[in-house]
Amino acid sequence: MPPQDAPNCVSEPENSDTAPSPFLKGIIAVDLDDVLSNTNEHIAAWHNENYGSNLGLNDFYYYYYWKNPCWGTPSQTHKKVKDFYATKWVSSIQPIEGAQEGTAVLRGLGYRLVIITARNEHIRDASWEWTQRHFPGFFEEIICTGQFAAQQRPDGVPEQTNVITKKLTKAEVCIRLGAKLLIDDSLENAIACAEYVSPNGDDIVPSVLLFGDYQWNKRLSLPED
């Protein structure tokens, strides 16, 4: 969700008793990195400047960075990514070409738009600020997939919030939101939606639009490979 002081980007007509809501077609969930934000191209340039590499977008063969050239071990990669998000490079990332026009069309068609990102919670505020700068008023909120809790509780007991017990998949977050569609550049997330098995048989899994002609979404990559 957005920072607590961020305004709700959706406004209802003043006479809501008689005027229909302009957003009746449901929710579309949209990934942030390399769907809206040209992240990998910028992080490659940052890596080249700081580590003397010669990485380009086509060198990201896999979704998990440490499987790609020059990134090192998983722990080394984690540190690099953390360092990148602490720099001013992040604020200079530009939107993916056509993303602003595409999201404007979806809003105009009557869809509610929500960002679901695998980014860490500690950079949510900066990510929301970037979104509002480049996509002002298009998105209702930004959700980091680690911020919700998948909690086991007895029937009839309200779910407790702000307690993280495990990271939810994007499929599970979409189901909780009631999203009809997920737009994502990750083959792994697309397959997770396709293979999701509802614990109670009632969950409606969203369709997935696999976005982008990227090297990393042409091959499956699992963290345990």
CB 1 within 8 A of CB 141: yes
Supply the angle between the helices 39-51 and 74-85 in degrees, to the nearest 10: 100
> Which element (helix H / strand E) includes 115?
strand 112-117
The answer for residues whose C-beta is within 8 angstroms of residue 114's C-beta and 6 or more apart is 27, 28, 29, 30, 139, 140, 141, 142, 143, 177, 179
Active site residue 155: no
Q: Are 121 and 48 in contact (CB under 8 A)?
A: no
Of 31, 34, 184, 185, which one is the catalytic site residue? 31
Contacts of 113 (CB under 8 A, 6+ apart): 27, 28, 30, 103, 106, 107, 138, 139, 140
Q: What is the dihedral of CA 38, 215, 53, 87, to 10 degrees?
A: 30
Q: How far apart are CA 149 and CA 156, in angstroms?
A: 17
| Catalytic residue of the set 17, 33, 34, 125 | 33
Name the β-bridge partners of 144. 117
Structure tokens at 211: 């976005």
Please tell me what DSSP assigns to residue 67.
Answer: G
- Catalytic positions are 31, 33
